[in-house]
Amino acid sequence: MRKLDLEYKIIGEGRGVLVIETGIGGSFYDWYPIVEKLKEHFTIVLYHRAGYGKSQNPSTPRTTKNIANELNCLLEAIGIKEKFILMGHSFGGLCVQQYAKMYPHKLKSIVLLDSTSFNFKSLYMLDIPVMKEFIAINKMVESNINSSKKSKEELKKQNQNIISAYNNRISEEDMVAVEEFFTSHMLHKTIAQEFENWDTDSKDIKDMREFPQIPLIVVARDIDLAIKEWIDYDIPEKEAVLYENQWRRLQRELSEVSEKSKFIIAQGSGHEVYLDRPDLIINSLNIIIS
């Protein structure tokens, strides 16, 4: 494979190596607050997948298989030789599941934060017509393709709430990078491609070898809070309850792939567990290193 040019940061000098895989459309700048609390105990590797931030444009289809391979190439290039903890959020968790099956010998343990499941399709088999319209993958693809055709000024306006949320959390220099990140046409093209491959990704992960029997922590969001958030988006309560109960079942199923697993419910947290309950993640990582 030819040399990759992926944007990455190494923060901290702790004895354990922690590699973080962000969610779909997510920037590693989101993780700065929790990384600040972890850097004494861990050497943390943050990176942007191809098509994200200052990383190169994708040269292969945006499958979890290719993403896992590219992450592995990056880690080899920057000299990560010891076994490490791999933590993934949402779609990043699906990428982590793929990596674990491809490179089990390189991992010390895994942390999945409200991760997309390899059986995510079961969510679309529920009797939730309004919700299905809201979460339809083809709509996500279409929306991001449309965004990729907008001007940078239009993208800045579209993502203003996301960008402004970083104020006072990161440096002025990083704020410039955040604005560039969310106004990138390539970002939205890449997100569309990642969504397009979800179905084949999940099949590929299921068809591969067994999950490695290494320590695994699965953190799931708060059902009651998630239901309330769906209702705020005008999703009928009955549908929100059905969806969230199935999401929880899928999280429990993820925790069952390893006999060395721990299942944790993040009370008071929505999907962004690393922002809502950083204390829980820090405690989970301390369990691993102790």
Q: What tens digit of pLDDT does each residue of 215-260 get?
A: 999 999 999 999 999 999 999 999 999 999 999 999 999 999 999 9
Give whole-number Cα distances, 219 to 6, 230, 260, 271, 278, in Å: 28, 20, 14, 10, 11
Instruction: Show the beta-strand stretches assigned E in 90-245.
Output: 107-113, 216-221
H or E element in which residue 22 lies = none
- Is the Cβ–Cβ distance between 117 and 97 less than 8 Å? no
- Is the Cβ–Cβ distance between 18 and 45 less than 8 Å? yes
Rounded to two decimals, what is the model's pTM? 0.95
Assign 79 to helix, strand or coil: coil
Task: Write down the pLDDT at residue 167.
Answer: 86
**With respect to CATH, is domain 8-120+199-289 assigned 3.40.50.720?**
no
Break the chain into its structural domains and give their ranges.
8-120+199-289
Adjacent-strand bridge partners of 9: 46
HSE-CB of 126 using CA atoms within 13 angstroms: 23
